[in-house]
Structure 1
Amino acid sequence: MGRIAFYAPMKPPTHPTPSGDRQMARALMAALGDVELVSELRLYEGKGDAAMQSTLQQHAIAEAERLIATGKNWQAWVTYHNYYKAPDIIGPLVSRALDIPYIQIESTRSPKRLNGPWAQFAALSEAAADHADLIFYFTDRDQFALKQHKPANQILIKLHPFLALENLPPAAALTNKTILTVAMLRSGDKLASFEIIAKALPLLTTPDWQLKIAGDGPARDDIKALFAPFKAQVTLLGQLDQSGLNAAYHGAAIFLWPGINEAFGMVYLEAQAAGLPVVAQDRFGVRDVVHPDGLAAQNLGPKALAQSLDALLQSPEMRQSRGHTARAFIAENHLLNSARKTLLNGIRKTLIIRS
């Protein structure tokens, strides 16, 4: 199979700000192998500004014309994360001009956005999804919408979210009472998850627990204030590089994150790979990447999270058992080799159909 053109309109894998989106883009490039990042143009527009959407569309058209003019002999075009706030405008234009297969990974259908402040971008996102020969989807929720709206000849394939690792890292010892949370400190859904944690902690009956929060962002002061009543029992670690994150996972005994409106959450994969039992809410997206043992009933709110945490804090045997199960779950479904096989087999199938 020849070289693949790769593009991520939401956030290029070279972007300086860490995020699950950037991490997934990098993992995909590692899995695809002979791949070229063909553009770093970011098409994300988060405010519903129609004028900015028009400006970004013009930039995208110019970028597509530049790429078409290079006349590169790519075998296929792969776009990661096409949705109404960051549509792939470039890929459909280039793939059509060069007559190569157009493939998407994590494409979200949002027909309800065709009216409103993102109408222009939503239409472009839907058009890009319509143009795709093949779409790999990560979650069952995405699959439902993709099936509803797919063109007759479009192929849909399940791709488990994955870590760019061939093998599992060393397992955490799980011998302390340290709870770890890893997330960007920002308003909206992230802050809402932090608020649930702040309501769960006072319900714990186990003494001597510690919560460590890794991450940074514009809502840092709000989140610091949220946990101020817990004093020394809660520590904000700030933004950590991958080495620092690995150390945080391996120094903890439990991973905690409710997961409000998470697409899926790479941190769940990292935590389970390190052998941490997870405590999360049973939500769309989260259940695609967390072993069922780690899912607490969403309708019971902070109380269910506190009960799950207490059970793990009070039982070293349960922590070890759940941690072992979590590692086996990641090894089977969420590492590089299985993702590579799914991706390359799907792309080869598409190339054969197109030939």
Structure 2
Amino acid sequence: MSATPADVGGGALFCPLLHDLCCVVAMPLSSPASLALELRRRLPLGLDAPTSAEVLIDATALDTGHRDRGIGRYVHGLIQAMGALERSPEAALLRLHPDASPLPRKVDLKAQGPSDAAIDSPFPTWTLRRPRTTHLGRFLLNELRLARELRRSGAKLYHATEPWSAPVGPGFKTVITCHDLIPLQFPEHYMGKGHRYWQVYHHYMGLRDRWRALDHIIAISEATATELKQRFNVPDERITVVPNGIDHGHFKPASPVAINDLKQRFNLKSPFALYLGGYDFRKNTELLIRALAQLPSSTELTLVLAGGVDAQMRAAHDALAKKLGQAHRLRWLGFVDDRDLPALYGAADFFVYPSLAEGFGLQALEAMACGCPVIASDRSSLPEVVGDAALLANPGSAYGWGESMSALLKDTTLRERLREAGLKRAQDFSWERCARETAAVYERLLASTF
């Protein structure tokens, strides 16, 4: 759930807001009415609800840095599938006003992320007018205003699909999707200097006993549900586990032609192990370099690292690889277009996912759906996602990971067995199932007494 640096930053929370306020006050205006009009134009706060709807689904993740992360993929997949249900809810989508979105417009369609595709949905859009600010700024503004705005809108149920809008109050019900509580598991890495948002957010949620005050919580895995119960004493009946899904129309085995084309474009040579994802502490990616060092020097294997990584983190990985004599085995790809992912998974000999903690583990599921054998961490949600269709290894043991990697390299029968098991396992997860079970939560809440 880690937020992107661009959205979290440590600067002043409301600098754009204060700047506009100062500009308005300094302007020569003819009347108080003119001042109010100009303030509304410069400081647009409000919720525009042009249609009626029983349910309002927060889709603002698609307007922030989370568009290209797991939360963005969740929101995109859920909304698209929910709109296609035979009995879809009477819902609207909440989006940030374009002036409030911190994202630059993507004009280069050669670099598409997981949630850049247009949403084919019958749901109308409601617009949230906010100043352009950080995640923390939006959270605090939502705490100040959103409950009142929701009561005025007439919506009976609000689905907070990410954590920075969890209003409670009379007149409407709130269900929130809890993706994980990872900052609380590793506070020294996610609650210290440079992580002001998580400090304030989790302190506030605890101070207000917000997790227990919400009408219902959707947890994306049993591991996340267990965390909620243990940390906040949320009763079982207030939590429903609804697993994430996958777009089987996109994530499926690529053709040999597509795989060969990708290998030529990226100059990839077999055999190689693939990692795709983030590089923050809990992703535990340096373990993969230590695992490479466990392999005999005669073993041919490249570790291909894909996904956005900052210069400091890349330098740390490169330094470790050089120290352990593994620099020749490392290959950085950076951000990979979503349209290339099925062929990339298909080209890899196996996929490695050594996380210390995950809320779900979408990349492991994507790899299996594309026919790529998987080695995953035996911690948090990953065992329940991959089942018996992957090798599980201790994320604290470089030796164990080296043994698993060596076994997959040598044993073609094992790779084929995991490939077939992974394809079958991935079929258990779909956005249609996620949407159907989420809509059932809506129906139960709307049927209960306010």
Whether these two folds match at TM > 0.5 is yes
Q: Secondary structure at the match of 1:24?
A: helix
Tell me how far 1:262 sits from its aligned partner.
Answer: 2.5
Contact persistence 1:4–1:77 (CA under 8 A): yes
Residue 304 of structure 1 aligns to which amino acid in structure 2?
Answer: G
Partner residue of 2:165 out of 88, 112, 120: 88
Q: Secondary structure at the match of 2:427?
A: helix
Partner residue of 2:63 out of 14, 32, 35: 14
Comparing 194-203 with 157-166, greater Cα deviation is found at 157-166
Tell me which residue corresponds to 2:160: 79
Contact persistence 1:101–1:354 (CA under 8 A): no
Q: Indicate whether 1:273 and 2:322 are aligned.
A: no
- How has the CA–CA distance of structure 1 residues 232 and 122 changed in structure 2, closer, same or farther, with 3 Å as cutoff? closer
Contact persistence 1:137–1:159 (CA under 8 A): yes
Larger Rg: 2
Deviations 1:132-185 (A, max 9, x none): 222111232322243354566953211112224467512577995221111223
Contact persistence 1:136–1:156 (CA under 8 A): yes
- Structure 1 distance, partners of 2:73, 2:80, is 11
- Structure 2 distance, partners of 1:166, 1:2, is 30
- Structure 2 distance, partners of 1:306, 1:237, is 22
Q: Indicate whether 1:157 and 2:240 are aligned.
A: yes
Tell me how far 1:329 sits from its aligned partner.
Answer: 0.9
Tell me which residue corresponds to 1:224: 318
Q: Indicate whether 1:24 and 2:24 are aligned.
A: no
- The answer for unaligned runs of 5 or more in structure 1 is 43-51
- Structure 2 distance, partners of 1:337, 1:275, is 21
Output the TM-score relative to the length of structure 1.
Answer: 0.78
Deviations 1:51-73 (A, max 9, x none): x998665422455278348x434
Residue 36 of structure 1 aligns to which amino acid in structure 2?
Answer: L
Deviations 1:252-305 (A, max 9, x none): 120012112222322111111111111122111222322334243427711111
Q: How many residues align?
A: 330
Contact persistence 1:106–1:135 (CA under 8 A): yes
Tell me which residue corresponds to 2:290: 199
- Structure 2 distance, partners of 1:262, 1:153, is 21
Q: Secondary structure at the match of 1:260?
A: coil
Tell me which residue corresponds to 2:201: 121
Name the % identity. 18
Tell me which residue corresponds to 2:41: none
Tell me which residue corresponds to 1:183: 277
- Structure 2 distance, partners of 1:299, 1:213, is 17
Output the TM-score relative to the length of structure 2.
Answer: 0.63
Residue 335 of structure 1 aligns to which amino acid in structure 2?
Answer: S
Tell me how far 1:6 sits from its aligned partner.
Answer: 2.5
- Structure 1 distance, partners of 2:82, 2:156, is 12
Q: Secondary structure at the match of 1:105?
A: strand
Contact persistence 1:263–1:285 (CA under 8 A): yes
Tell me which residue corresponds to 2:45: none
Tell me which residue corresponds to 2:419: 323
Tell me how far 1:198 sits from its aligned partner.
Answer: 0.8
- The answer for unaligned runs of 5 or more in structure 2 is 1-51, 84-90, 102-133, 261-269
